[in-house]
Amino acid sequence: MQRNLVRCFVRSKAPLLNGSVKQVRHIAFSTRLRKDFNFPTPPDDMPRSGGISSMMRLPIQRNAQGLDVCFVGIPMDSGASNRSGTRLGPRQIRAESCLLRPYNTATGAAPFESLMVADIGDIPINTYSLAKTVDIIHKHIGAIAELGCKPLVLGGDHTITYPILQGIKDKHGPVGLVHVDAHSDTNDLMFGERVTHGTPFRRAVEEGLLDCKRVVQIGLRGPGYTENDYDWPEKQGFKLVMAHECWHKSLEPLMAEVRQQMGNGPVYISFDIDGLDPAFAPGTGTPEIGGLTVMQGLEIVRGCRGMNIVGGDLVEVSPPYDTTGTTALTGANLLFEMLCVLPGVHYSS
Ligand SMILES: [Mn+2]
């Protein structure tokens, strides 16, 4: 940690000159560094409570050019069936992310010594048209992926994952999916509509965006309509893991199975914050009791290390329903954990 602070102090305060004392210190303290990566603004350069509110206090840039990974927001909630408010999710996740530090003390991941990362702002969706919004998201995510950059998306309601997967498929083909959620989100129609936050994975299957044998849904629960509620995703070959199967357990053994299931092919992570119990994450639109713990959420994301992850999202944070900001803080941490398990991230022993 001290080493990182020294390095970023040197980097942020003084442009490096060849042969300078500072250059020597820079090299000494960061021998693993191959180039000047972006780094979150150190807390001694700007108070955590200050500065422009970017994800993790990272530099902001206009597009994904030159980046290995981008954080990008999608401020929409027009697909929500019950409580709205997720349009405010990206903004509050960024605000709460000011507390995140750059090194993962639990896993040893040092993502900012390994990858070029920036916040590229929000995708300008159309608040009044879900159909246009889907096209806008597809186009923007496709452009990010085309540049070889992996998007980590701040949602937004879960509708967004459908057009995100369209954009991902344009670059990578059908992907495996690690999906954490209280709900399967594979309804056919809601109020007669095909595009909602309860239908994204039905549409994704229909359009061939998913490699169905490499899909897992973890945390499913809640009162249903009939005994057949999960028939459709099961028929597609999805692996379904009910929340009650996870109670009182570590999910590390499950994730070993999931890594086998995913193999070497491309994988996308979609984490609906309502997969966690509302005691931990009350700020969400369709809460269900008896959910996963924060620790289990961390085990799931950390268990994705070694997979060929090509992007991810954290959706359904609805700030009006959690004035403490804890739900958004949890979401911000889970996005950081996703960053930490991307291919190419350096780990200390
Ligand atoms: Mn969902």
* Residue 68 annotated as lining a ligand binding site: no
pLDDT score of 260: 98
* Residue 170 annotated as lining a ligand binding site: no
CA-wise closest residue to 118 among 152, 142, 84: 152
pLDDT score of 35: 65
CA of 6 to the centre of ligand 1 (A): 41
* Residue 244 annotated as lining a ligand binding site: no
* In contact, 269 and 338? CB cutoff 8 Å: yes
Question: Residue 28 is which amino acid?
Answer: A
């409570």: which residue's tokens? 49
* Residue 183 annotated as lining a ligand binding site: yes
CA of 183 to the centre of ligand 1 (A): 6
Instruction: pLDDT tens for the chain, 349 residues: list them.
Output: 334 433 433 343 333 333 333 333 333 344 445 568 999 999 999 999 999 999 999 999 999 999 999 999 999 999 999 999 999 999 999 999 999 999 999 999 999 999 999 999 999 999 999 999 999 999 999 999 999 999 999 999 999 999 999 999 999 999 999 999 999 999 999 999 999 999 999 999 999 999 999 999 999 999 999 999 999 999 999 999 999 999 999 999 999 999 999 999 999 999 999 999 999 999 999 999 999 999 999 999 999 999 999 999 999 999 999 999 999 999 999 999 999 999 999 999 7
* Residue 185 annotated as lining a ligand binding site: yes
CA of 271 to the centre of ligand 1 (A): 8
pLDDT score of 32: 46
Q: Between the CA atoms of 61, 64, 70 and 71, what dihedral angle is there, to the nearest 10 degrees?
A: 60
Distance CA 210, CA 214 (A): 8
pLDDT score of 3: 40
Alpha-carbon distances, residue 215 vs 36, 61, 176 (angstroms): 37, 33, 5
What is the total residue count of the chain?
349
CA of 206 to the centre of ligand 1 (A): 18
CA of 123 to the centre of ligand 1 (A): 20
CA of 55 to the centre of ligand 1 (A): 22
CA-wise closest residue to 172 among 152, 200, 150: 150
The 10 Å Cβ neighbour count of residue 240 is: 15
CA of 278 to the centre of ligand 1 (A): 14
Instruction: Reduce the secondary structure of the chain to three states and give it as a string.
Output: CHHHHHHHHHHHHCCCCCCCHHHHHHHHHCCCCCCCCCCCCCCCCCCCCCCCCCHHHCCECCCCCCCCEEEEEECCCCCCCCCCCHHHHHHHHHHHHHHCCCCCCCCCEEHHHCCCEEEEEECCCCCCCHHHHHHHHHHHHHHHHHCCCEEEEEECCHHHHHHHHHHHHHHHCCEEEEEECCCCCCCCCECCECCCCCCHHHHHHHCCCEEEEEEEEEEECCCCCCCCCCHHHHHCCCEEEEHHHHCCCCCHHHHHHHHHHHCCCEEEEEEEHHHECCCCCCCCCCCCCCCECHHHHHHHHHCCCCCEEEEEEEECCCHHHCCCCHHHHHHHHHHHHHHHCCCCCEECC
pLDDT score of 2: 38
CA of 338 to the centre of ligand 1 (A): 18
Distance CA 7, CA 34 (A): 14
* Residue 158 annotated as lining a ligand binding site: yes
* In contact, 145 and 137? CB cutoff 8 Å: no
Distance CA 39, CA 4 (A): 10
CA of 53 to the centre of ligand 1 (A): 26
Distance CA 75, CA 78 (A): 10
